[in-house]
Amino acid sequence: MLLASYGLRSVGRWRYDHIVRLRLNRIYPLHYMKYQFARFRRRFHLRYGQAYDGFKSLQDLNPLLKDSANRLEKVLETETMMADYILRLYGKECVKNQIDMNRFCSITVNAFQMVSVISRTNDSLSRGSRFATQQLRLCESICRKAHQEVNSLEKLIEGIEEIAEERRTKTIHQSNMRFDGYFARPTFDRVV
CATH of the domain at 149: 1.20.140.10
Asked if 117 and 145 touch (Cβ cutoff 8 Å), the reply is no
The average confidence (pLDDT) of the chain is 77
The answer to whether residue 84 scores a pLDDT higher than 80 is yes
Counting the structural domains of the chain, the total is 1
Q: Determine the pLDDT at residue 150.
A: 93
Residue 105 resides in a domain: yes
Give the separation between CA 37 and CA 95, rounded to whole angstroms: 32
Residue 57 resides in a domain: yes
The answer to whether residue 143 scores a pLDDT higher than 90 is yes
Residue 51: band (very low, low, confident or very high) from pLDDT cuts 50, 70, 90: very low
Summarize the confidence of residues 78-100 as an average pLDDT. 78
Give the separation between CA 67 and CA 75, rounded to whole angstroms: 12
| Confidence (pTM) | 0.59
Specify which of 63-67, 157-161, 179-183 reaches the highest per-range mean pLDDT.
63-67
Residue 63 resides in a domain: yes
The mean-pLDDT minimum among 2-6, 100-104, 107-111 falls in 2-6
Query: In 3-state terms, what secondary structure has residue 132?
Result: helix
Residue 180 resides in a domain: no
Q: Convert the pLDDT of each residue in 3-35 to its tens digit.
A: 556 666 777 777 777 777 777 777 778 877 777
Other Cβ atoms closer than 10 A to 151 = 14
Q: Determine the pLDDT at residue 63.
A: 85
Segments forming the whole domain that contains residue 43:
2-159
Residue 50 resides in a domain: yes
The answer to whether residue 174 scores a pLDDT higher than 70 is no
Specify which of 58-72, 92-106, 171-185 reaches the highest per-range mean pLDDT.
58-72
Residue 147: band (very low, low, confident or very high) from pLDDT cuts 50, 70, 90: very high
Residue 171 resides in a domain: no
Q: Determine the pLDDT at residue 192.
A: 47
Instruction: Identify the residue with better confidence: 182 or 174.
Output: 174
Give the separation between CA 95 and CA 192, rounded to whole angstroms: 36
- Within its chain, how far is the Cα of 190 from the centroid? 44
Q: Determine the pLDDT at residue 89.
A: 81
Residue 117 resides in a domain: yes
Residue 174 resides in a domain: no
Q: Determine the pLDDT at residue 177.
A: 63
